[in-house]
Structure 1
Amino acid sequence: MKKDLIEDTFAECFSGKYIRALITAEDENTLKQVAYDSTSTPGAVIGRVEGGIEGFVDPKNTPDGRMGAIVQYWFNVDDLEKFEVELSYRIRQDVLVKPFTRMFSYTDKPNIQGSIGTMKQVGHCGDGYEWIENKYDREMINVPIAVPDFQIESELSYGEGIMGANFWYMCKTKEVVLEAGKLAIESIMNIKGAIAPFGICSAASKTETNYPWIGPTTNHLYCPSLKKDIAEISKVPDNVNYIPEIVINGTDINVAKLALKNSIEAVLESDYSEDVVKISAGNFNGELGEYNINLLDL
């Protein structure tokens, strides 16, 4: 591995609350659609829910004996009532409406800090006709719908983990962006407790902005298309045409570090590594996040 390409810098990370859940379905196509739909559109940075797929589970390892997907939903503020509401949008619009789906709490017991009830925001989609039954050794809410029926565990447990671990792989070609990035994502999905909520991310951001009502805007110093226009301040290295980012959330700091390490290695050990110029990371000078992960320490 080309360690000399790794910059002596750190990824700045934040603590956040997460719910780890298991979704099951009758068929693979529905399962994948549910998993990807319900975890799309990362929104923690604007006070909403951020999600990702941790991995897929064999039917012999699920409570109902069906194929499953482990998903995570993250929130980075302490307002659990808002978390409950925001999460309910994902469940109601992306899971409940898909045929023959069920949802179980899957947060590991040692990490559980509390739970969020699902009756108020999800169960009552049954308009008062919903009922609770003990099934699969769990307390399940049965929501009657036109393709009978959606079932969800009555409490979804949450823990606290690490959000925003990240690295940039500065490269020459489109192939590196897509192919090496794909390998990085696959390496993350092989680690229990880790997700990549943005997949291969094209838009590194910064805290200062000319348009505060938008939230984070482009990190212009690292935009290759602006290099000539802002030559005096641009931080895009020579021969770099693309700076994709991989963002990682982990159920604890060790999970985040392992996922970061393995995904960097996946890029640097890939068949496309000759076109990787530098590995770096996004941070805010250590002023905002509670955790700093130095890339060279990995």
Structure 2
Amino acid sequence: MSYSKVQDTFFEAFEGKYVRALITGPNESIVKRAAYDSTSTPSSVIGRVEGGVEGFLDASKTPDGRFGAVVQYWLGSDDVEKFAFELSYRLRQDILVKPFTRIFDYANNDSNDYIEMMDIVGHCGDGYEWTVEKFGRTMINVPIAVPDFQIEEKFKINDGIMGGNFWYLCETPEAVIDAGEAIIDAIMDVEGATAPFDICSAASKPETNYPEIGPTTNHFYCPSLKETLGEISKVPEGVNYIPEVVINAIDENSMNKAVKAGINAALEFDGVIGISAGNFDGKLGDKNINLLDILK
């Protein structure tokens, strides 16, 4: 494949903490709703938990023999207490309420750090919850009106890498959607990687005129501002749309594989006229990774 459309530029990545979980349920529809609901707000940049769907497993590959979804929940800091507090909302409000669901720890390493689920999820049983040895795990059984919800007692906290990204520069709106969907499918085929923002329409920047609302638009790359900004606009000629794909992963190798898979998928579409990446002169992340190095 030719990479002539790919700019010689880099993205910035940084270390983060994540929990990797497996959601199972009675059918594919319920599991997918639980997975996407619980990861639907990619918000680590504003101090909340950021989530993404890594992929799906058939019944032969899960502890309880049911359809499963592998999900990741991230926090870009070492504040474990805050991580647990924020994570509890995702688990309680978006998964526990789905009928017949379970959640298992799906860590891929030997981390000794973990989050106890009894305090943040188990006590939804209002003191009537109990533990049970099942599926080779210690599970908390939370009695609810559609009996019953179960979650593994402990979830490991893992070290990973966040913030990998690339932009696919588009000529047509069809390319934004069609290439974007192919990119997300390609990333989901890479074990250990996830795209928490899916197809993202709003690249942001660290500095802002409105800090009370968090990151704001990266105005240099807004096609609708090209005429207003004049010479300081950085929108290339012929580019009408600049969607971004952000990638978090369990390690740098998985991140780079996902970036390459996504770029390869994007370049299959005629309406994609270039590939670039978001960076801030190396000031945001401690790892600067060049796109062309990944594609070698």
The TM-score normalised by the length of structure 2 is 0.98
Match of 2:280 in 1: 284
Name the structure 2 match of 1:152: 151
- Write the distance in 1 (CA, Å) between the matches of 2:120 and 2:97: 15
Query: What is the match of residue 296 of structure 1?
Result: 292
Output the CA distance in 2 between the equivalents of 1:169 and 1:192: 22
Q: Which runs of 4+ in 1 moved over 3 A?
A: none
Letter of the 1:295 counterpart = L
Code of the residue aligned with 2:179 in structure 1: it is: A
Cα pair distance change 1:113/1:195, threshold 3 Å? farther
The answer to whether the 8 A contact 2:174-2:271 is kept is: no
Partner of 1:23: 23
Query: For residues 44 and 177 of structure 1, what CA distance do their matches in structure 2 show?
Result: 24
Residue identity matched to 2:273? V
* 3-state SS of 2:285 partner: coil
Q: How does 1:48-197 map to 2 (within 5 A)?
A: 48-110=48-110, 112-197=111-196
Q: Percent identity?
A: 62
Residue of structure 2 in register with 1:259 after alignment: 258
Q: Quick one: which amino acid aligns to residue 105 of structure 2?
A: S
Match of 2:227 in 1: 228
3-state SS of 1:109 partner: coil
Residue 27 of structure 1 and its aligned partner are, at CA, apart by 1.2
**Structure 1 Cα separation of the partners of residues 192 and 287 of structure 2:** 18
Cα deviation for residue 266 of structure 1 reads: 0.7
* C-alpha displacement of 1:113: 4.6
Tell me the CA shift for residue 245 of structure 1. 0.4
CA distance in 2, matches of 1:45, 1:156: 23
Distance 1:77 1:175 in 2: 37
Q: What is the TM-score of this pair, normalised by structure 1?
A: 0.97
3-state SS in 2 of match to 1:73:
strand
In the alignment, the residues of structure 2 paired with residue 209 and residue 45 of structure 1 have an alpha-carbon distance, to the nearest angstrom, of 13
Aligned residues of 1:113 and 1:160 also touching (Cα < 8 A): no
Cα displacement (A) at 1:292: 1.1
Aligned residue for 1:83, secondary structure, equals helix
- Report the AA paired with residue 101 of structure 2: T
Contact 2:183/2:262, CA 8 A, preserved across alignment: yes
How far did residue 96 of structure 1 move? 0.4
**Where does structure 1 lack aligned partners over 5 or more consecutive residues?**
none
Q: Which residue is 2:6 aligned to?
A: 6
